[in-house]
């Protein structure tokens, strides 16, 4: 984690907001904090965690272009999150605040640490955690629900753009887990079956690459959950489902050809 970036963010937050860095990706640096950006902390309430996602300036870009791009991407991610939170049944982090000029958004913190040091509760770690009993009922129902979340997203004509197993966070719901989709930095509103097919393919590849022995069944459960959303919409849903699945298979075929040819 770049010390310079952490210092930049601390300066911007004026020192009154303690932050803990948790991730540095290609696009953004992510912190947690227990301070809400504008609400006072209620007395005797357990502390709540929030996410601060900061897009630092990129030195290799012209400063004016850099500012425009940062503003555009921060605004785009905030806008899509606020639209998605109003879709019934779809689980995404709540957008709390957004400062587009400084490339900063505040989000609800989701998830928790898995038992026995298995790491943060994203889908990737959850599948690793279950690898000694890979086809248990909790895994099956969780993957079905992951598929439902993607089905809801696509049915409403939104695409994720970077659907990896780290971008699915599991939130405990009694004995089971409720999948939430995070990181809409590349998200978009799209009616194109191509974009939807690519989302499904990216997730399938992510599962094949990290959980290859169980991937066939895992991907089948995800597609079952995905299909159930479309099938619940009647004749129109069934037709649209066929179109998306056909395109998904085309995208998969193109991917295979590309990896054979190199």
Ligand X SMILES: Nc1ncnc2c1ncn2[C@@H]1O[C@H](COP(=O)(O)OP(=O)(O)OP(=O)(O)O)[C@@H](O)[C@H]1O
Binding site for ligand X (CB under 6 A): 22-23, 25-28, 30, 51, 53, 93, 107-111, 120, 162, 166-167, 169, 182-183, 185
Q: 126: part of which helix (H) or strand (E)?
A: helix 123-129
Instruction: Indicate the residue among 205 and 217 with the shorter CB distance to ligand X.
Output: 205
Phi first, then psi, for residue 105 (nearest 5°) are: -130, 150
Helical packing angle, 215-231 and 137-155, nearest 10°: 50
Least separation in angstroms between CB 123 and ligand X: 11
Instruction: Indicate the residue among 27 and 148 with the shorter CB distance to ligand X.
Output: 27
Least separation in angstroms between CB 6 and ligand X: 15
Q: 98: part of which helix (H) or strand (E)?
A: strand 95-99
Instruction: Indicate the residue among 36 and 217 with the shorter CB distance to ligand X.
Output: 36
Helical packing angle, 193-210 and 137-155, nearest 10°: 160
Q: Are 32 and 107 in contact (CB under 8 A)?
A: no
Which of 66, 99, 133, 162 is an active site residue? 162
Question: Residue 176: beta bridge partners?
Answer: 173
Least separation in angstroms between CB 11 and ligand X: 20
Least separation in angstroms between CB 34 and ligand X: 14
Cβ-closest position to ligand X: 25
Active site residue 43: no
The C-alpha atoms of residue 99 and residue 13 are separated, in whole angstroms, by: 12
Instruction: Indicate the residue among 182 and 222 with the shorter CB distance to ligand X.
Output: 182
For the annotated catalytic residues, the residue numbers are: 162
């Amino acid at each position: 984690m770049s010390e310079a970036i952490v210092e930049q963010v601390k300066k911007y937050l004026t020192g009154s907001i303690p932050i803990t860095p948790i991730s540095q990706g290609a696009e953004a640096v992510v912190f947690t904090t227990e301070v809400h950006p504008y609400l006072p902390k209620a007395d005797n309430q357990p502390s709540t965690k929030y996410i601060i996602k900061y897009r630092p300036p990129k030195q290799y870009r012209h400063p004016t272009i850099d500012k425009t791009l940062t503003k555009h991407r921060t605004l785009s991610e905030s806008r899509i999150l606020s639209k998605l939170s109003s879709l019934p049944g779809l689980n995404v982090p709540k957008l709390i605040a957004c400062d587009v000029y400084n490339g900063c958004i505040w989000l609800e913190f989701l998830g928790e640490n898995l038992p026995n040091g298995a790491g943060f509760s994203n889908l990737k770690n959850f599948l690793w955690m279950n690898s000694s009993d890979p086809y248990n009922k909790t895994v099956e129902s969780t993957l079905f629900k992951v598929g439902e979340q993607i089905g809801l997203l696509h049915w409403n004509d939104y695409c994720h753009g970077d659907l990896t197993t780290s971008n699915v966070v599991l939130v405990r719901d009694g004995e089971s887990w409720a999948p939430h989709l995070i990181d809409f930095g590349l998200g978009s509103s799209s009616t194109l079956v191509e974009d939807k097919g690519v989302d499904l393919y990216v997730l399938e590849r992510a599962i094949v690459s990290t959980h290859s022995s169980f991937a066939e069944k895992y991907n089948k459960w995800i597609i079952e959950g995905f299909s159930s959303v479309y099938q619940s919409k009647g004749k129109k849903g069934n037709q649209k489902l066929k179109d998306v699945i056909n395109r998904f298979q085309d995208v998969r075929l193109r991917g295979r050809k590309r990896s054979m040819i190199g």
